[in-house]
Amino acid sequence: MPSSAPPRIPGRIWALAAITGAGAFMAMLDATVANLALESIRRDLDTTLPRIQWVVTGYLVALAVSLPAQGFLVARFGAGRVWRASTLAFAAASVLCAMAPGPGWLIAARVLQGLAGGLMVPAGQTVIAQAADRRQLGRLMGVLGLVVALGPAIGPAVGGLLLEVASWRWLFWINVPVAVAALALAPGRVPPGEPDGTRRLDVGGLLLAGLGLPLLLLGATEAGASGPGTSGSGLAACAAGAALLGTFAWRSLRRLQPLIDLRLLRNRVFTRATLVTGLAGANLYAGLLLLPLYLRALGMQLGVIGGMLLAMGLGSALALPLAGRLTDRHGAGPVVLAGAGLLVATTLALLTSVVHDPRLLAFVLAVRGVGLAWAQMPAMTAAYGATDAARMGDATTLVNIVQRTGGALGAVAVVVALVRSEEGGYAPAIVVLLALSALALWPARGMRP
């Protein structure tokens, strides 16, 4: 297990991480504040809630559609070029959102924003992973994770302030100066990447994955929200999405130039690390769904609940730089195992009287945030560290797909538990969250630096 001092990170690499991290911050901040503004948007554009919720749903579906193409685009044109183009598209879509005269325009602009965001975040990760030494990745990803974690942590506060003093349109305008600054600083700092002119687009694979992934996520969400056995359309969409993705996997393993190189999964460290990121995503989104409902049922006011979630977000943000240093020095395995252990311990605490003491509960949730940070970001670092530069685009695509899919399925599992346990309170849903936490221990235990 490595324990010698890791190599120093030069200033140019830190600058690269800061510039590309701006895109990840925008994407996370935008997803958070859009949820907060739905009712204001509905009133201002004089539409219905079922229609305007597509401002959120359309964005998430578009993210899922564009993700599978990222690996091909990075290989074909270079990671830096894809990052620049997607950042520019994200900024342009933000302008269209801010200027939307009606709900149809806004939903279409959000779809464009989601397509760009689905490319921008993993392309930025690819740029960093290709430029840095493997023993620098932990610290770099830790700081990048800090920036990303700050988006959900400060998003509600920023969004609430803007909604009070200005218009919901400013929630989209704020992306523009961040994107312009990042693009202005990029020349000479963000390498364009090495394009591979021989790479050909796997059109069949793109259709299978581009349809299968959103069908699976939307179907799982609908089935979970409707309860077990009550949503035939949701279950049908899940089955169709799973079938398309299964066909995609079977086809990809038999092609010389697949859309995503699934042969990466033959690497044990990559597979275990990717599985941990999926389970950490499940823990994050399942917890974000369950905790506000649970704390509200305990009689807490919305302001107090917001403070509790902020404590969890700040716990993650503050823990990430240390996680990066520990990963570079000792390897990802011990850090991920510690993070998974903290998730188990803090979820168990939710089943005790700790929930009736606000100060103690805030501490527990802050520690849970540490567990999320230590489980997820070092696992991503290990996955990228186990991949050669030529296949880094495929690696970032696959990790991000598993992470997002895990998050959606984890939230659905909690919803199903809540629907089935109307008389049993919230304990069954917390047990589901505990199971998701415990499952992460197995792949974490088998990881090696």
| Mean pLDDT, range 427-448, rounded to an integer | 84
Average pLDDT over residues 56-75: 80
Question: What letters, b where the CB count within 10 A reaches 16 and e where it falls short, cover 104-126?
Answer: eebbbbbbbbbbbbbbbbbbbbb
Question: Is pLDDT of 36 > 80?
Answer: no
Largest CA distance in the chain: 62
Per-residue pLDDT tens over the stretch 153-200: 666 666 667 777 778 888 889 889 989 999 999 998 888 888 877 778
pLDDT per residue as tens digits for the range 89-114? 999 999 999 999 998 999 999 999 98
Calculate mean pLDDT across residues 298-317: 80
Kindly report, residue by residue over 225-244, the tens digit of the pLDDT.
Answer: 555 455 577 778 888 988 99
Q: Categorize the per-residue pLDDT at 5 as very low, low, confident or very high, splitting at 50, 70 and 90.
A: low
224 has a pLDDT exceeding 70 = no
Of the spans 151-165, 274-288, 335-349, 419-433, which averages the highest pLDDT?
335-349
pLDDT above 50 (res 216): yes
- pLDDT grade, residue 449 (50/70/90)? very low
Q: How confident is the model at residue 446 (pLDDT cuts 50, 70, 90)?
A: low
Mean pLDDT of 395-401: 86
pLDDT band with cut points at 50, 70 and 90 for residue 387: confident
Mean pLDDT of 61-90: 87
How much is the mean pLDDT over the chain? Answer: 82
pLDDT score recorded for residue 184 = 93
Which pTM value belongs to this model? 0.78
Evaluate if residue 265 carries a pLDDT over 50: yes
Is 90 exceeded by the pLDDT of residue 419? Answer: no
Which residue would you say has higher pLDDT here, 356 or 160? Answer: 356
- Residue that is written with structure tokens 């186990």 in the block: 386
pLDDT mean over 378-396: 84
> Can you give the pLDDT at residue 1?
45
